[in-house]
Structure 1
């Protein structure tokens, strides 16, 4: 299931999404004493990150992580971890906890197993999930071009999986659809005319392996709130 929320300006979208996410995180903390949120990388969420970082929340009880990460040095300009630290873990949100997906230099099976254990104990199910979407319909690092796409979309997949896309650089670590679908609140944050056309193509088709974002749009038990601005 999905609902499209359109905004005339990206700034209005960013402020509205930040208000909604702040409300949801506050409710989670009040209900169970803690909250978790997974965000996505790229340039689109920067304004949202800044708006959210200024909210006066119980950040010390909130854990932020990424929906996926490239296995690169966290000082790299291609690191989503760097992006989040520079744009979200600022202002009021400087006291939030951050769960690193990229830990160590070697992406071994032992590392992946340890991260899965920690994610299941500390994060899942997520309270809030913010997804992005690529021109090929991938989301997180669930790439249609990867050999791992069947595993990415499988209902019995591990929470975190190693993905090697064929049309994008770097090995990736990504939450699987099975793990992300558990999120209590799911948002797809996109902008621009081209992404709206990609979304229309995704909505019109059925094959999730062709466009993995469809898994979130079609799942009857996932309510994906789409936030779009030109």
Structure 2
């Protein structure tokens, strides 16, 4: 299931999404003493990150992580970890915790096992999930071109997986659909006419392996709030 929320300006979307997410995080902390949020990379969320970082939240009780990460150094321009540190873990959000997906030099089976144990014990299920979407309909690092796509969409897989896309650089680590699906609040944040066209294409079909974002838009158990601005 999905609901489309359209905005005329990206700044308007950023503020509305930030306010919505802030209230959800406050509610989660009140209910259980802590909250977790997974965000996505790219240029689209920068304005949202800035708006959220200026909200008065119990940041010391909130853990931020990524829906996926490229296995690159934190100093790389392609590092989503760097993006979050420079744009979200700022202002009032400097006291938030950060759960690193990229740990160590190599993405080994042992590293994955340790990360899966840590994720299960500290941040899962997520209270808030902010997804992005590529031109090919991928989300997080659930790439239709990868050999791991069936495993990534499986209902019986681990929380975190290694993915090697064939049409994008770097090996990746990503949360699987089975565990992203458990998020209590799911948002898809996109902008521009091209992404709107991709969204319409995703809504029109039902093959999730061809366009993995369909798994979130069409699953009756998920209420995906789509935030789009020109």
TM-score under structure 1 length normalisation: 1.00
Residue in 2 aligned with 1:80?
80
Residue in 2 aligned with 1:30?
30
Give the distance between the partners of 2:128 and 2:156, measured in 1 at CA: 21
Are residue 153 (structure 1) and residue 157 (structure 2) matched? no
Residue in 2 aligned with 1:126?
126
* Superposition pairs of residues 1-230 of structure 1, within 5 angstroms: 1-230=1-230
User: How far apart are residue 26 of structure 1 and its match?
Assistant: 0.1
* 1:188-229 per-position Cα deviation (integer Å, ceiling 9, x unaligned): 000000000000000000100000000001111100000000
* Number of residue pairs the alignment of both structures matches: 230
TM-score under structure 2 length normalisation: 1.00
Gaps of 5+ in 1: none
Give the distance between the partners of 1:208 and 1:52, measured in 2 at CA: 31
Question: CA RMSD of the aligned region, Å?
Answer: 0.3
SS at match of 2:179: helix
* 1:20-73 per-position Cα deviation (integer Å, ceiling 9, x unaligned): 000000000000000000000000000000000000100000000000000000
SS at match of 1:38: strand
Give the distance between the partners of 1:206 and 1:54, measured in 2 at CA: 39
Give the distance between the partners of 2:37 and 2:184, measured in 1 at CA: 10
Give the distance between the partners of 1:213 and 1:123, measured in 2 at CA: 22
SS at match of 1:221: coil
User: How far apart are residue 157 of structure 1 and its match?
Assistant: 1.0
Give the distance between the partners of 1:83 and 1:106, measured in 2 at CA: 21
Give the distance between the partners of 1:91 and 1:49, measured in 2 at CA: 11
Give the distance between the partners of 1:43 and 1:181, measured in 2 at CA: 24
Give the distance between the partners of 2:150 and 2:6, measured in 1 at CA: 32
Give the distance between the partners of 2:199 and 2:153, measured in 1 at CA: 19
